[in-house]
Structure 1
């Protein structure tokens, strides 16, 4: 597995004094723009804020309680939106898939630039619509925090404890099947 994937994790312990350049944020957003898209729809849109600008302040204002304690320490916050069409289930589904692909590429691009990216669902989508004039037919789906990791000793105990937890995933034989559901696709590989 590529080190950008194996080394990726969603930290909360960001350095509140670290900054990110306009060029780096633009590169991260551009990585999302170039993500695969179903039927060339290109439904994904971005609301971008860097620390100390009005957009960033408004984005911190839509955070829910769990994320409000750490996400304002990010150097940038990016609200990722996609089209919403409840009358067309296929288009609605693939717009969400496109959004996920864009966020995934943005996370890896942030990692490649030496930053950490943390996707969040913990924000008030209606407040986002109001704050940014997001039109009908657009769905705020993911808020992405991007930051530089802080020195662990400088973090509040609760954030440090969460960041120090080992990163784990279910074993491959529990998620990848062949033939029948539950039959491991790769039985010859060790289960770790």
Structure 2
């Protein structure tokens, strides 16, 4: 699979089935994160991989109403970062940008492995911090729910994308 094919195939499915999360899978996802670019190679992100069934159940309390589908995930990845661990150039704080780059690489690696990796915003960072013992000074950016697309689940078409002319400019912004 080429990088472009992975980009085209990546989807955030909500109908998941259980899949065995091996050490090899975690290693490949971790290495994709490790190789991500960051300002001065600071790598400000910290990831918590959760696959223990009891810990996954403990995370049920952190999800917002309507995110019950997350209970079918086989792995949850908490993505955290701190401003002081990365570059601040004038008013530009790179920690969230760099962490986002690392998430993107993880999503593509998951796609290549035949997995669905769905980042969510519908969760409580405070509760997540408590369940996973994440220090207060780390910002919980997202939780990524990982599994396999459920066989026979309704087809979830790709969300419509904006036209290129709406988001890409040449030589000047307008």
* More off after superposition, 165-174 vs 38-47: 165-174
In the TM superposition, what is the alpha-carbon distance from 1:36 to its structure 2 partner? 0.7
Listed one character per residue, the Cα deviations across residues 7-28 of structure 1 (whole Å, up to 9, x for unaligned) are: 111111101x332212202211
Listed one character per residue, the Cα deviations across residues 124-171 of structure 1 (whole Å, up to 9, x for unaligned) are: 00112222222232111010111111123xx4xxxx3xx523432111
Label 1:92 to 1:47 Cα distance change in 2 as closer, same or farther (>3 A).
Answer: farther
In the TM superposition, what is the alpha-carbon distance from 1:122 to its structure 2 partner? 1.2
In the TM superposition, what is the alpha-carbon distance from 1:41 to its structure 2 partner? 1.6
Label 1:55 to 1:32 Cα distance change in 2 as closer, same or farther (>3 A).
Answer: farther
Give 1:150's aligned residue. Answer: 150
TM-score normalised according to structure 2 size: 0.86
Give 1:187's aligned residue. Answer: none
Give distance in 2, aligned partners of 1:33 and 1:136: 23
Give distance in 2, aligned partners of 1:65 and 1:89: 36
Label 1:89 to 1:125 Cα distance change in 2 as closer, same or farther (>3 A).
Answer: farther
In the TM superposition, what is the alpha-carbon distance from 1:98 to its structure 2 partner? 1.3
Give 1:180's aligned residue. Answer: 172
The reply on whether 1:82 has 2:81 as its aligned counterpart is yes
Give distance in 1, aligned partners of 2:137 and 2:36: 21
**Match of 2:168, SS?**
coil
Whether the 8 Å contact between 1:77 and 1:146 is mirrored in structure 2 is yes
Listed one character per residue, the Cα deviations across residues 11-52 of structure 1 (whole Å, up to 9, x for unaligned) are: 11101x332212202211221122111122211001111151
Give 1:61's aligned residue. Answer: 61
Cα RMSD (Å) of the superposition? 2.2
Gaps of 5+ in 1: 183-192
Whether the 8 Å contact between 1:62 and 1:124 is mirrored in structure 2 is yes
Gaps of 5+ in 2: none
**Larger relative contact order (CA 8 Å, sep ≥ 6):** 2
The reply on whether 1:8 has 2:10 as its aligned counterpart is yes
Give 1:44's aligned residue. Answer: 45
Higher strand proportion: 2
Count of equivalent residues: 169
> Over alpha carbons, which structure has the higher Rg?
1
TM-score normalised according to structure 1 size: 0.79
